[in-house]
Amino acid sequence: MILAFDTYYFENKAKTVCISFDSWADQKNYNVHSKIIENIEEYKSGEFYKRELPSIVSLLENIKFKNIEAIIVDGYVYLDDNEKLGLGGHLYKYLKEEIPIIGVAKTNFATLEKNKRQLTRGKSIKPLYITSIGIDLDKAKKLIENMDGLNRIPTLLKTLDRLTKEKNCG
């Protein structure tokens, strides 16, 4: 099973959605899990994980997933080439380094070069930025590259983004 997480912030709340699916090539076969939490941390540059990690952990603890192959997060695993942990890295540590984490980000983080791969999909000229921990970075890039969809963002990750922002999902 593969899990993908995204969080949407509104008022003083965070709505986290997880989609679970069995195959990297899936386009419609997925389950949706969501949770809204209140009183979230303020955003602090370089410490985004303090805001988002509690939401992800809260949702993970509500659902007993088994045999997780990998988790995809909307963001970075590392914030620099000295391996300063980002959201994905902190999630990996929280999970006792047992489940590989793949970060898929839409914007570049300039302090990170060697621990990141650019991935251009479809006809887009704008890349996605892939980071990983617990799985080889080039393999992680290939897995995201081979996900269903002809556009920049894979079908299921686009679906996740849409569900996260919907009012009636959660």
Domain boundaries, the chain: 2-165
Strand partners, 4: 19, 72
**Residue 17 contacts residue 162 (beta carbons within 8 Å):** no
Closest CA to 5 of 49, 42, 60, 46: 60
Q: What is the mean pLDDT of the chain?
A: 90
Q: Does domain 2-165 have CATH number 3.30.2170.10?
A: yes
- Residues 104-161: tens digit of each pLDDT: 999 997 788 899 999 999 889 999 999 999 999 999 999 999 999 989 999 999 999 9
Predicted TM-score of the model (pTM): 0.93
